[in-house]
Structure formats: C-alpha cells, structure tokens
Amino acid sequence: MSEMRLSEKLHAAFEQQLKDQAMTVILKRGWQYYIDGQVNSANAGGHDNLYGVVQGSDLYAVILDAGHFRYSSCTCPHQGFCKHMAAVYFQYCNEQEGGHVQAEKAYFRLLGLTSASTLLKTHAVQPPVAEIALDPGEQGSAADWLEWMEATHGETWRKCRHSLHALQPVLSSLKGLSKDWEKPRQRLHWGTAILFVLEQAERAITTVDSFSRYYHEMSFIRMAEPWVEHLYTLISELAPKEMDAGEEAWADTLVATVKKRASSMEQQLFEWGFMYLALCEKLSENRGWYERELSSMLRFAENGDGDAENTSFVHTAIGMMFYFDSRDELAIRHFALTSFDRSQRVIYPCAAQRMEEGKWELVERWMSFLFEHVYKVRNGRTVGPFLTLCRRADQDRPDLPVWTDYMTQLLPHSYSELSDHWLDRKRYEEWADLQMLVGSRPEEVGAHALREIAKLAPGALMPLYHQSVEACIQTRNRQGYRMAVKQLKKLERLYKADKNAARWDRYIDGLVRKHQRLRAFQEELWKGKIVT
C-alpha cells in the first residue's frame, strides 16, 4: 500500500477533472485493465503526483498530476488521457483503505452514477457495497435503459419534497453516459433521460400537501423548463427517414411512454400531450410510422375505457395527426369531440398555419368552427386568441366581411381588439361607430387616437362629439353644462378642419333653440363664447 496519499480535497478535485475530460469508453477500458490486473504499480509521490506502470502491448509509465491535470502523461502512443491513466487511478483507489470497494465506487462516480465529490474519508473503513449493475450501453434498448434508470435512480423523487435540485445531477450523469455515442442515438438517449427525470418530478409533486401544492407546482415547472425545452429541441433534430430499426424501436418506446402519461386522468405537472404531439409531428415525416400510429390511436379511441383514459387527449391527438396529413375536415371532426378548453391551444395554430399557407377555404372552415365554440364561452381566454386570428385574416383578406362580423358579434368582449383594429386599418368611421355603440365618450378613448382621427378624418369624430355633448346636457347640472361647452369647443375645431363652418353655425343655432329653457346652460354657452 502506498505510504503517501493525496489530500481529500485534491483527490476530489482530481476526480472531477477526470469525469469532465475523460471519455466514457476510455474509463471503461481502463477499468478492464485494472480488473485484469495489468497495473503493476500505482503510488502517490511528491508534488501531488500519482505514478504507475501498466502492462499493455508494452510497459507504459504513467504520471498523473493531480494539481495540474493537463500535465499528466503516459508513454503510450495515445494522445491525451488514455486507458492506462484510468487504470492507474483505479489501482491507486484500490490501494487505499477499503480496497476494491474504493476503486469500484470511483468507477461509478466517474460514469456519473454518484457524485464525484463524494469520496471516502481518509482512514475510514467502509462496509462492502451492493453490486450496481452496469448500464445497458449503446446497444441497449430504450426499455433496457428505462428499466436501468428506474433501478438505479428510481428513488430520487423522494429527495424532491421541496425542490427538484436532486434531479439535476441525475440528469447530467445520465446524459454523460452517452456523450461518446453517435448523435442520432445520443439524442434518443438524452430524450429518454429527460422523460425519466420528468416522471420523477411527477412522483415528487404527489408528496406535497394540498395547502402548498400550487406553490410547489410553479416552482417545479420553472425548474424543469430547461429540461422540457431541451426535449423539444432534441425532438426537432430527429431524422425519422434515416433511422435504423433500433432507433425506430427506441422512438416508439418514447412515444408509448409519453402517450401513457398524456392519456392518464391523473393531475399532471407537465404538458405530456404537447410532448406527444411534438413527437408525432416529427416522426410523421416517416409515412409508415404515421400510418401505424394513426391506426393505433383510432383503435385507442374506439376501444378506450372512458373512465380510465383521457378521451379528449385521444381525439385531440387524432385531430392533429389528420391535420399533419392535410385532412382538415377529419381533423375538425375529431376536435369537435374534445374539451375545447383543453384543445384550443392546438387548434388556433392550425388555423394560423392555413392562413400562412393562403388556403382561405380551409381558413374559413377553421374559423367557423372556432367561432362556434368561442361564442358559447365568451371569456378572455378564448376570445383573445380568436380575435387575434380575425384581425390577421382581415388584413390579408379584407374583401371577406366575415372576420369583422365575428368580432362584432363578440362585443362587448371584443371591444378593445376591434377598436384597435379599426384604428390600425384606418377605418375611422367604423371606429367612431363602435365608440358610439358602446357609449364611450371622447375623453375615454385616448388622446392619441383623437388627435390622429382629427387630423386625418375629422368628420368621423363629429357624431361622437355630438353624442357626448347631448349626454353632458342631460345631466341637468352646472358641471355637465361646463363639460358640454368644452366638448363644443373641440367640435368647433373639427368643423373648421373639415372646412364646414356653415354647418357648424346651423348646428349651434339648433342646439341653442332646443335647450333655450336651460338658463344655466345658456349662461355657460355665453361664458365659453360659443354664442355671443
């Protein structure tokens, strides 16, 4: 046994550098060299170095510099960190108190199965540890990996009572196991790892008491956002037409895993349905896969137990799959069988996409379907997105009056959107008519809008001011009369801007005669110099 040892802190830092820089395949080969007894010696020397000799195709001398890892070297032809260096490190761990158990723990830490900073205390004898099965490797299937992840990390959720921090190192270590794989298979493996930790989070939220559940749900969702976003990125990078049989089987396992979650009636933390749809949209590039999955979902919808399965999700998924295939009428038919409150988030993008493509017959069909459901509910959550689509459609196809008809029928919920739309479209008369319809006064609609219309279309504002003046007079009090005079002054400027002074004179003469018995009003007209 070596008499000299690395300090605990230096040992931990050294091992972390090994974990970060050494490829998994190098570590595994070094472990095999150590197991086969090919390390002749491994000793700690001065200047924080480890020295060793390894029997390979030749005898190789190894120096591991714990203080400056980049200065480590081996006399073998390999450039950089090699299997002989890994073997020497494992042998050094073996020669500490604890023997082979120490080396085994170091190996698992370097593979990412446990924290690299959790080293054995110096001089502390540890009891034997249970055998940990090696991971399935690159040739393992998705099912093998999910089984292994569950066996190895399946209790992590118990540490997530108040936070998901315990899952981050698990995810990092799982991703690290495939860092040397080919990219297509690596994406599938990383996606599997993300789904595993998301399921762990779903289990963790069930332990939270109902009083604080909302707070923890928001906290968990925020922490998991980067994982979910990475999953969507990985899905978008898949190449379904280039997958081999093993990769297709792996993808099918991922789809089945997500679909099982999405179709569950249990309260869910994450949007599993959207993850499933993202997978379907990408994998549908392979026509054979699309046909198989669609047939499976149709059978699911026909035979599913309504008490156990989320039928709304099933029909939403089928609707989207028909939409991917440009069979819009069938898509709408299935969306009609869903809970609109839950499915509307995927329906609106369908209509928007058809607008982008300029398929206006289909757009009219989608918008008719949406209006039918929006009109029944008429709340901010449903009206807002629908009005956004209506405004966009009216910009592209103003010759079709149906878009503004929809917005008008949704008043008063659509007032703000419709008012802004008329201003954007510079349809000032329609804008003014809308203000009069809902009883808005000029001072309530925004100074910027009034200035714009007064400059470009003063005549459009006149009826609005006429209505406002009459409303002020009807208050039958001095304050109302003063407000009426202020409005009359603005109205006079509009008539002058419209170059219609004669009409202004006739209007004032008629107003004075109409209210000649209101002496207080007549006084305010005189004070305001409206009449002389």
What share of the chain has pLDDT > 90, as a percent?
57
Please indicate, yes or no, if residue 125 is contained in any of the structural domains. Answer: no
Euclidean distance between CA atoms 374 and 386, whole angstroms: 8
Domain annotation covers residue 484: yes
Q: How many domains does the chain fold into?
A: 3
Quick one: pLDDT at residue 113? 65
Both structure tokens of 141: 């299937």
CB 406 within 8 A of CB 441: no
Q: Are residues 106 and 207 located together in one domain of the fold? A: no
Q: Tell the residue number behind the tokens 């609707």, with chain if given.
A: 319
Sign of CA dihedral 407, 411, 417, 423: positive
Rg, Å, the chain Cα set? 37
For residues 93 and 223, membership in a common domain is answered with no
- Domain boundary among the residues 68, 92, 110 is at 110
Average pLDDT, the chain: 87
Sheet containing 49-55: order of strands: 39-44, 49-55, 59-65, 73-74
Q: Are residues 98 and 212 in the same domain?
A: no
Indicate if 193 and 249 belong to the same structural domain: yes
Look at residue 473 and tell me if it is in a domain: yes
At which residue do the structure tokens 């895993």 appear?
257
Domain extent for 458: 431-527
CA-CA distance, 428 to 495, in Å (whole number)?
A: 16
Q: What's the confidence (pLDDT) of residue 119?
A: 43
Same-domain pairing of 236 and 106? no
**Which range among 116-125, 212-221, 300-309 shows the weakest confidence by mean pLDDT?**
116-125
Asked if residue 394 belongs to a domain, the reply is no
What pTM was estimated for this model as a whole? 0.68
Residue type at 507?
Y
- CA separation for the pair 148, 41 (Å, rounded): 35
Tens of pLDDT, residue by residue over 45-66, are: 766 778 889 988 888 888 888 7
For residue 412, cis peptide bond before it (omega within 30 degrees of 0): yes
Residues 157 and 273 in one domain: yes
Q: What are phi and psi of 527, to 5 degrees?
A: -60, -40
CA distance 44 to 63: 10
Type of residue found at 282:
K
- Residues 146 and 276 grouped into a single domain: yes
Cα separations in angstroms, 302 against 24, 29, 148: 47, 52, 34
Same domain as 271, residue 162 = yes
Q: Quick one: 84 and 190 in the same domain?
A: no
- Here the tokens at position 82 are 């090699």
Determine the Cα–Cα distance for residues 345 and 343; give it in Å rounded to an integer.
5
Q: Does the pLDDT of residue 406 top 70, yes or no?
A: yes
Output the CA torsion 8→11→15→17 (10° steps). Answer: 120
- Identify the domain boundary among 110, 133, 157: 110
Using the predicted structure, report yes or no on whether residue 86 has a pLDDT greater than 60. yes
**Residue 293: inside a domain:** no
Would you say residue 448 lies in a domain?
A: yes
Mean pLDDT of 314-342: 94
The fraction of the chain above a pLDDT of 70, given in percent, is 92
Q: Are residues 173 and 276 in the same domain?
A: yes
What would the mean pLDDT of 429-438 be, rounded to a whole number? 91
Give yes or no: residues 93 and 185 share one domain.
no
Specify the pLDDT at position 120: 40
Domain C-terminal end among 268, 283, 298: 283
Q: Which two tokens stand for residue 510?
A: 């008629």
Which string of DSSP letters, residue by residue, matches 229-273? HHHHHHHHT--GGG--HHHHHHHHHHHHHHHHHHTB-S--SS-HH
More confident residue, 80 or 5: 80
For residues 197 and 475, what is the distance between their CA atoms, to the nearest angstrom?
Answer: 67
In this prediction, residue 304 carries a pLDDT of 62
Spatial separation of the C-alpha atoms in residues 275 and 174, rounded to whole Å: 20
The 10 Å Cβ neighbour count of residue 532 is 5
Residue 255 inside a domain? The answer is: yes
CB atoms within 10 A of CB 192: 21
Examine residue 369 and state whether it is found in any structural domain, yes or no: no
